[in-house]
Structure 1
Amino acid sequence: MESFNNKRVLITGGLGFIGSNLAIRLVQLGAQVTLVDSLIPEYGGNLWNIEPVKEQVRVNISDVRDEHAMKYLIQGQDFLFNLAGQTSHLDSMQNPYPDLEINARAQLSILEACRHHNPAIKLVFASTRQMYGAPRYLPVDEKHPLAPVDVNGINKMAGEWYHLVYNNVYGIRASVLRLTNTYGPRMRVKDARQTFLGIWIRNILTGQPVLVFGDGRQVRDFNYVDDVVEAMLLCAASDAANGEIFNLGADDPANLQDTAQLLVQAAGQGSFALVPFPPDRKAIDIGDYYADYGKIKATLGWQPAVALQEGLQRTLAYYRTDGAHYWEEADHARS
């Protein structure tokens, strides 16, 4: 982690959930951090996310689709954590073109900016397990066939492979992390655009029932955000990660009904109910999923440190204190 001391680091999507947690960690490691975020309401950026380090980071409000801004911002940076993206699977189906522009075309223009203006930069790209589609076997390793079930998965796959091609052809050092269900402080909780656990947390703390779709037996794995940040830093610091794809995953996958029960227990309040799948969500549901993260463990020594129960307790504690900064806006919109 000494690799980041006094180094210049750019984070796209830096005011979002994972980007802000990464920024806080990098400040602790002595990095000079610049955050790029469009603050488009649907995409999860929130200035409160960087409250602990707001005087120690630079913030540039711009869109990764702005090629001229990205050409300027990339210059002189040592590391780029490329986290900006459209993450809603449902939105990608209802309005596919913004997803295409953000998750595919913008990624290509960012890499072109690196090629022409900063070829020595090291990139880490945040990808998704969604591109595997419905698993053919479990746990899912990196050799599993790719079969996205929605537009988001297709475009993220394109963004991912742009990074690998530029690594392999142009020597722009890049590595890819396929994230699973990431949760923790600073995640979007006013709706389910980013993760269903977000709206579950909000409902628990505001006295509304948690709604579990279907029979609740779908199995998922979950990573606490601090563990995800650690994986990103390891990828950035190690040349062994260049040109590689890594799954993240957990040792304690759980079905959704058990996860809801665990959340109620951790909160000491609330309830959950099984409800029918909305048709639009059922059409893109992937069934059971949990990953084999053996490759990143063997290559970089990463493994998750925070179990689901502990992570839920930490997350609940954060939103009990700071929740108003996350769901107040949604309440205003609804009223």
Structure 2
Amino acid sequence: MTVNSRKNVLVTGAAGFIGTHVVRELQKAQNGYDIVALDDLSGGFIENIPQGVTFIEGSVSDMNLIADLFSKYSFDYVYHLGAYAAEGLSHFIRRFNYTNNLIGSINLINEAIKAETKCFVFTSSIAVYGAIEPPMTEEKTPHPEDPYGISKLAVEMDLKAAHSMFGLNYVIFRPHNVYGEYQNLSDPYRNVIGIFMKQIFEGQPMTIFGDGEQQRAFSYVGDIIPMIAQSPMNPKALNNVFNVGADRPYTVNELAKKVANALGKPDHPTVYLPPRNEVGIAYCDHSKAKSVFGESPHTSLDDGLAKMAAWAKSATIRPLKPFTAIEVEKNMPPSWLRYLESD
């Protein structure tokens, strides 16, 4: 009797930024994975899907679709990266945020329990910590300050409950300020490096909220993807939460200069917009991840920006794609309101 040793793997958000990198890393591993790539193409692009995978266009919020996929493929592993990851905007799209990021995740968890999925890998976010004193560690009590962070923390809590009740194994990652190749350069609400690059390409000044002294540790995507992809096969990783990303924080002012230098435009201008409600300083400790996965690659910000710039110069720069289904306009930054007026 022939035993089929191949594993069915679901990657959500597979046409998006981090999702496409996970798919490619899984393909490189050559572990006998049959990959189903799910994406609704709201923020990702079909050309990001590599050859050799099964692409399904659809949303995790479609309960019937998710049930059908699990019935057909009975996934061994789930990598759930699909989300609308816009912390600041989530205040103004609350229903959409919770439907897509929370309820969509629960649809997947329900079906993973029924299919006896071996491991559910979930990309959470540094947003769960809110404004607690950095460096953030996994032992500190999260205190999210925006609906996006709240939805991510709720999924984390549900995964822990599902493990306790049903034995569903999970690995949770809290990445932060990730950048690199395949990032969406046309989203005006998130991914500040992509926003800066698009503004430079189009001859517009880089826009900075507040005084630009906010601090973040910007993380090159290639440094965190191997950990995410390999985590279900690491017994020490199971049923744990890990911060992943760069160690050193930079101010947004410093970042703007580095992005301009990476694109060969060191004198490119910046303009300052009224501040918006956001955490001032946010970066993490990664000791726990290092103890389980070992030392990961460390790409300096300058080197990572050079890699992204080389890719961005030949990437398709799409028209600005504002989010039009705003639910609450009160206290919305004026620069974002203008996108609605021009739509």
- Cα distance in 2 for residues equivalent to 1:246 and 1:112: 23
Partner of 1:321: 314
Identify the residue that residue 103 of structure 1 maps to in structure 2.
101
SS in 2 for 1:230: helix
CA distance in 1, matches of 2:62, 2:229: 26
Map residues 78-89 of structure 1 onto 2, 5 A cutoff.
78-89=76-87
1:144/1:306 Cα in 2 relative to 1: closer, same or farther (>3 Å)? same
TM-score by length of 1: 0.88
CA deviation map 1:212-239 (0-9, x unaligned): 2222221110111112211202322212
2:167 to 157, 168, 171: 171
Q: % of aligned pairs identical?
A: 26
Return the letter of the residue paired with 1:157.
L
The equivalent residue for 1:160 is 156
1:33 has 2:32 as partner: no
Structure 2: where are the runs of 5+ without partners?
Answer: 323-338
Question: 1:49 is aligned with what amino acid?
Answer: N
The answer to whether structure 1 residue 237 and structure 2 residue 233 are counterparts is yes
Report matched runs for 1:76-225 at 5 Å.
Answer: 76-116=74-114, 118-136=115-133, 138-225=134-221
Report the counterpart of residue 15 of structure 1 in structure 2: 15
Distance 2:193 2:320 in 1: 18
- Quick check: 1:167–1:242 contact (8 Å CA) kept in 2? no
- The count of aligned residue pairs is 316
What is the aligned-residue RMSD (CA, Å)?
Answer: 2.1
- Counterparts of 1:272 and 1:129, CA distance in 2: 30
Using the alignment, how far apart are the partners of 2:89 and 2:212 within structure 1?
A: 23
Are the equivalent residues in 2 in contact too, given 1:252–1:307 (CA < 8 A)? no
Give the drift of 1:99: 0.8
| Whole-angstrom CA distance in 2 between matches of 1:132 and 1:238 | 26
3-state DSSP of counterpart to 1:89: coil
Q: Which ranges in structure 1 are unaligned for 5 or more consecutive residues?
A: none
CA distance in 2 between partners of 1:58 and 1:22 (Å): 14
Q: Is the 8 A contact 1:231 1:302 kept in 2?
A: no
1:147 Cα shift?
A: 1.4
Judge conservation of contact 1:188–1:194 (CA < 8 Å) in 2: no
**Structure-2 separation of matches of 1:193 and 1:236:** 32
Q: Structure 2 matches for 1:211-290, cutoff 5 A? A: 211-269=207-265, 271-278=268-275, 282-283=276-277, 285-290=278-283
Matched, 1:56 2:52: yes
Q: Deviations over 1:189-244 (max 9, x none)?
A: 11233311111111122322212222222111011111221120232221211111
Q: What is the aligned partner in structure 1 of residue 334 from structure 2?
A: none
Separation in 2, partners of 1:249, 1:23: 19
Indicate the structure with greater helix content. 1
Which amino acid counterpart does residue 327 of structure 1 have in structure 2?
A: R
**For residues 315 and 222 of structure 1, do their structure 2 counterparts lie closer, same or farther at Cα, with a shift above 3 Å needed?**
same
Structure-2-length-normalised TM-score: 0.86
- Between the aligned partners of 2:65 and 2:173, the Cα distance in structure 1 is 25
Task: Report the Cα offset of residue 39 of structure 1.
Answer: 1.6
CA contact (8 A) 2:36 2:54 kept: yes
CA distance in 1, matches of 2:310, 2:321: 20
